[in-house]
Amino acid sequence: MNLIIWPTYLDSRKSRSEGRRVPLEYAVESPTASEILRAARKLQLEASMESDRAYPPSWWESSGRVVVEYNGKKSELLPKIARLVRSSRKR
Amino acid sequence: MLGNLGRSLSKTMKKLAGMTIVDEEVVREVIKDIQRALIQSDVNIKLVFNLSKSIEERALNEEPPKGITPKEHIISIVYDEMVKLLGEKSHELVIDDKPYRILFLGLQGSGKTTTIGKLARYLRKKGFTVGVVCTDTWRPAALEQLKQYTEGQDVSIYGDPQNRDALDLAEKGLARFQKKDVIIFDTAGRHKEEKDLLREMEELSAIVEPHEAILVIDGTIGQQAREQALAFRKATDIGSIIVTKLDGSAKGGGALSAVAEIGAPIKFIGTGERIDDLEVFDPERFISRLLGMGDLRSLLEKVEEVSEEEIAEESLDAILSGKFTLRDMRVQFEMMGKMGPLQQVMSMLPGAGKLPKDASRMTEETIRKYLIIMDSMTEEELEKPDIIKHSRIRRIARGSGTRNEDVKELLKYYRVTKKAMKGLGRRKMGGPMGQLMRQFMR
């Protein structure tokens, strides 16, 4: 199944009502689509990036998005990706 | 207008105008071109041959009057004969009683309801009060459709989806709209054949006692329109005809000529989907437009109609003194929008058809988009567009649901126009375009 991951999901600057999907402890500041793509690939998942897409609630900025092939719940996948993005920032 | 027919005819006329010598051979060639164009648009073969015969005869035998070159002579003969093909006279809708009752008829899908909406608006513009009675008991959505078409136009509509009795509806509607200047009765377009249609007309006529019965004919059926018009003409002597959907099909010429041939009066033609796309049918104007000679009269009338509604007096002074703001541009755009599709407006200018179809559609869409963008600007920004920089551009784009590039494009367009306007102010404007612009800005 293809899951869409918007950078907003992992963005520590956004509130949950603005579209964040993970707790603040996993979130990072303004993640990019390519960071998410790298994290998904690290999890050995089939993933691709669509960089000119805009998250509809903030349609004026095209943040891009990532399409991940994953069989399971999005809520399971997101923390995994979030953690990887976070650790990639630390280095 | 009529798609291919107009294009090929105006091409022929251009070809003729470009020739140096006009002899028999040229005449034959022109006639052949015209024949081909007409037959393609489904005009009856017999009519086409009669037409070409009389063009040929007159072109070869008649002496051109003094002061007119043979070439101009032939052009005017072609024009004459084409006008004859469409019945020469124009028939105006005369409202001479109150309430003036009009019964609308038409086969299923001929565009009756749409046309009623257009006619109601046309009459409102002329200052008449209008009531529309919907007696379509077969299609409850018809009432909804009527309401939509006449929205915001101060047209009263009577209808009752629960009532299944068309005659009863007509009676009640008639009683309700006694004080209106014009009452239009919409009928159910359920018929597939003329016979049923005429029976319905008779039944309703007994109650409504209409001053006029209007048959709506779908222009895309081509010469088959003849049968419908003929039966209708036989059945009533207060009948007139509106031919619709002339924009979409190549067969409109066939429908028009077939109706004209039997002498049924065509009062209006429907030339598009928009509410303004209804024109009084005047063969002379119609043909001059078709031949690419332009129809300045219609255009100026249209401009007048628009500027009566909204006169931008200050604009002219401002523009001529070189002060042209975004606000002035918005007024112009709004006027252009009201005049109807640009394509239609352009086709009224001499040398028409210059505008490729796609280009004009683009422009129309662009104008709408620009208007929306300007709606997101502040008063100050409209007065002094130069203050619009990055962050304002971003805000305006976001407010109007467009991209930054669109806003920049609009500003660029504004600057170009401003420059052009400055030039216009200095030079004296002449010719039809100048006249048009002056009308625009008066």
B250 annotated as a binding-site residue: no
Residue B211: pLDDT over 80: yes
Q: What is the mean pLDDT of chain B?
A: 75
pLDDT at B194: 65
B384, burial (CB in 10 Å: exposed 0-12, middle 13-18, buried 19+): exposed
> B385 preceded by cis ω (within 30°)?
no
The tokens describing A46, both together, are 């089939």
Helix (H, G, I), strand (E, B) or coil at B270: strand
- Interchain contact B373–A (C-beta under 8 A): no
Superfamily of domain B4-85: SRP54, nucleotide-binding domain (1.20.120.140)
Under CATH, what is the fold of the domain B100-290? Rossmann fold (3.40.50)
The minimum CA-CA distance between A60 and chain B, rounded to whole Å, is 6
The whole-angstrom separation of Cα B35 and Cα B45 is: 9
pLDDT at B218: 83
pLDDT at A69: 93
Residue ranges, CATH 1.20.120.140, chain B: 4-85
Residue B160: pLDDT over 90: no
pLDDT at A29: 92
Give the A:B interface size as CB pairs under 8 Å: 3
- Interchain contact A52–B (C-beta under 8 A): no
pLDDT in tens, B397-409: 999 999 888 999 8
User: In sequence order, what are the residues at sequence separation of 6 or more whose Cβ sits closer than 8 angstroms to the Cβ of residue B263?
Assistant: B87, B233
The minimum CA-CA distance between A43 and chain B, rounded to whole Å, is 36
Residue ranges, CATH 3.40.50.300, chain B: 100-290
**Mutate which of A58, A60, A62 to test chain B, going by most B C-beta atoms within 10 A?**
A60
Residue of chain A nearest B401, judged by CA positions = A60
Residue B396: pLDDT over 80: yes
pLDDT bracket for residue B221 (50, 70, 90): confident
B109 annotated as a binding-site residue: yes
- Interchain contact B394–A (C-beta under 8 A): yes
pLDDT in tens, A41-82: 999 999 999 988 999 998 888 889 999 999 999 999 999 999
Helix (H, G, I), strand (E, B) or coil at B60: helix
**Mutate which of B398, B405, B407 to test chain A, going by most A C-beta atoms within 10 A?**
B398
Selection from B113-117, B131-135, B408-412 with the highest mean pLDDT: B408-412
- Interchain contact B405–A (C-beta under 8 A): no
Tokens 């159910």 label which residue?
Answer: B188
For the ranges A40-49, B89-98, B170-179, B184-193, the lowest mean pLDDT is seen at B184-193
Under CATH, what is the fold of the domain B296-441? 434 Repressor (Amino-terminal Domain) (1.10.260)
Residue ranges, CATH 1.10.260.30, chain B: 296-441
pLDDT bracket for residue B304 (50, 70, 90): low
Closest CA to B216 of B102, B294, B122: B102
The minimum CA-CA distance between B405 and chain A, rounded to whole Å, is 12
Residue B164: pLDDT over 60: yes
The whole-angstrom separation of Cα B324 and Cα B436 is: 18
The whole-angstrom separation of Cα A83 and Cα A10 is: 10
Chain A residues with CB-CB distance to B397 below 8 A? 60
pLDDT at A73: 93
Residue B312: pLDDT over 60: no
B246 annotated as a binding-site residue: yes
Residue B153: pLDDT over 60: yes
- Interchain contact A60–B (C-beta under 8 A): yes
Sheet holding B239-244, edge to edge: B156-158, B130-134, B182-186, B100-106, B212-218, B239-244, B266-270, B278-280
pLDDT bracket for residue B351 (50, 70, 90): very low
Eight-class DSSP state of B104:
E
B113 annotated as a binding-site residue: yes
- Interchain contact B397–A (C-beta under 8 A): yes
Q: B68 or B316: whose pLDDT is higher?
A: B68
Residue of chain A nearest B394, judged by CA positions = A60
pLDDT bracket for residue B209 (50, 70, 90): confident
Residue of chain B nearest A58, judged by CA positions = B398
B190 annotated as a binding-site residue: yes
pLDDT bracket for residue B40 (50, 70, 90): confident
The stretch B202-221 carries a mean pLDDT of 81
In words, the CATH class of domain A19-69 is: alpha beta
Selection from B100-109, B301-310, B330-339 with the highest mean pLDDT: B100-109
pLDDT in tens, B245-263: 877 666 777 777 777 777 7
Residue A2: pLDDT over 70: yes
pLDDT at B55: 84
Query: Tell me, what's the ipTM?
Result: 0.71
